[in-house]
Amino acid sequence: MAGIKDLARECGVSVATVSRALNGHPEVSVETRRQVQQAAERLGYRPSQSARALVRGRSDAVGLLWDSGYETAGRKHPFLLSLLVGLKQALSDVGRHLILLNVDVDRQGPRAYLDTARQFQVDGVIVMGVDDHRPALRELFESSLPCVAIDHDIAGPRACCVTSDNRAGAVEAVRHLHDLGHRRIATITGPVDLMPAVQRLRGFQQAVGELGLDLPDEYVQNGDFFMDSGYACGRRLAGLPKSRRPTAVFVAGDEMALGAMHAFADAGLDVPEDIAVVGFDDIEAASLVRPALTTVAQDSLALGTAAVSALLDFVDDRFGDRPAPESPILTPTRLVIRQSCGGGR
């Protein structure tokens, strides 16, 4: 591995000049720069990340804090995984890398997140899929380390939140059902201590209100994002007397939506003939089942891009005097029409 010294020798200049030439300092002569760049190319020179990070106090890497209990793996939050792809892509576009930080908060105590991030000198951290109530998170948000959480409503001097426009997505879904002629529209919610779940519920309520629809209590069923809860809620809706039974359901998560569809099938109801279903997230299974699920897709690339750019805004703000966004940064959703509401292709 060629080091900067080899390169300097090769070019007959000092290491300082090599460094300046490669880092785009304006003072080096065009001729020198060209020569150094060519030699670097030729020798396959790459500056050592560690040396650079050590001397500059930053690493051009961002850390990812992500509690992925194994047992629950992809099962738990399938969407997180596509989020990861979005992040990777967004970082790739700005020439940074992602370090999956493994931190055991239970063993390392409340400063674990922060200390680990500093130890790696990451420029900032992105947080997703973690338990909201950890003191270690507070410690992190309240520090001066740039920090962006996806789907967690947090605040701090250099911390903000990025999330899909869950509310608007829910509104669009309900409007779609209304356009299709549905007037009795129910919902199955996610766990109401999760921000996306409450925003989707709010959007549902808002749309239902704006459209002047009836909303009996039993039209709001509480699930937990997993399939079994969707099934249970679906059974309850299917069990309503026909005259009060909803003709459509907005389900706040695809996995629950599939559960609900199974419940409807078991109750002898046809989807979409007897009851229409819209999900949320657009997980892989949504397009794999029959009838394929109409759903509100999150844009994981947009989310990743927004998260990265919010993070870099903090990083670029050397003095930390720019105020952090006070409300979540929202990313648009998109209604993907398939067969579960009829009206699809």
Partner DNA sequence: CTGAAAGCGCTTACAG
Binding site for a second copy (CB under 8 A): 1, 44, 46-54, 59, 61, 66, 68, 70, 73-75, 78, 81-82, 84-86, 88-89, 91-92, 95-102, 104, 111, 115-116, 118-121, 227, 255, 258, 262, 265, 283-285, 287-290, 300-301
Figure out which of the listed residues 34, 42, 56, 290 binds DNA, where binding follows CB under 7 A. 56
What the block records as the tokens of 84 is: 């990861």
Asked whether position 43 contacts DNA by CB under 7 A, the answer is no
* Closer residue to a second copy, CB minimum distance, 65 or 171: 65
State the DSSP string of 30-74: HHHHHHHHHHHHHHT----HHHHHHHHS--SEEEEEE---TTTHH
Q: Which helix (H) or strand (E) holds 162?
A: strand 159-164
Asked whether position 51 contacts DNA by CB under 7 A, the answer is yes
With b meaning 16 or more CB within 10 Å and e meaning fewer, what string describes 290-309? ebbbbbbbbbbbbbbbbbbe
In the block, tokens 């790739």 appear at: 92
Asked whether position 215 contacts DNA by CB under 7 A, the answer is no
Which partner from the list DNA, a second copy, none does 206 bind, CB cut-off 5 to 8 Å by kind? none
* Burial bucket for residue 42 (CB in 10 Å: 0-12, 13-18, 19+): exposed
Asked whether position 4 contacts DNA by CB under 7 A, the answer is yes
Which partner from the list a second copy, DNA, none does 91 bind, CB cut-off 5 to 8 Å by kind? a second copy
Which partner from the list DNA, a second copy, none does 99 bind, CB cut-off 5 to 8 Å by kind? a second copy
Shortest Å, Cβ 205 to a second copy: 28
Asked whether the beta carbons of 171 and 146 are under 8 A apart, the reply is no
What the block records as the tokens of 9 is: 């020798």
Asked whether position 47 contacts DNA by CB under 7 A, the answer is yes
The Cα 115–Cα 128 span in angstroms is: 18
Nearest 5 degrees, angle CA 172-CA 174-CA 178? 115
Asked whether position 265 contacts DNA by CB under 7 A, the answer is no
Asked whether position 29 contacts DNA by CB under 7 A, the answer is yes
Which partner from the list DNA, a second copy, none does 226 bind, CB cut-off 5 to 8 Å by kind? none
Figure out which of the listed residues 9, 32, 215, 335 binds DNA, where binding follows CB under 7 A. 32
What the block records as the tokens of 37 is: 């760049």
Which partner from the list DNA, a second copy, none does 118 bind, CB cut-off 5 to 8 Å by kind? a second copy
Phi then psi dihedrals of residue 185, to 5 deg: -120, 125
Asked whether position 55 contacts DNA by CB under 7 A, the answer is yes
* Closer residue to a second copy, CB minimum distance, 89 or 205: 89
Asked whether position 19 contacts DNA by CB under 7 A, the answer is yes
With b meaning 16 or more CB within 10 Å and e meaning fewer, what string describes 221-248? bbbbbbbebbbbbbbebbeeeeeebbbb
Which partner from the list a second copy, DNA, none does 120 bind, CB cut-off 5 to 8 Å by kind? a second copy
Which partner from the list a second copy, DNA, none does 116 bind, CB cut-off 5 to 8 Å by kind? a second copy
Rg (C-alpha) for the chain, rounded Å, is 25
Binding site for DNA (CB under 7 A): 3-5, 12-20, 22-23, 26-32, 45-48, 51-52, 54-57
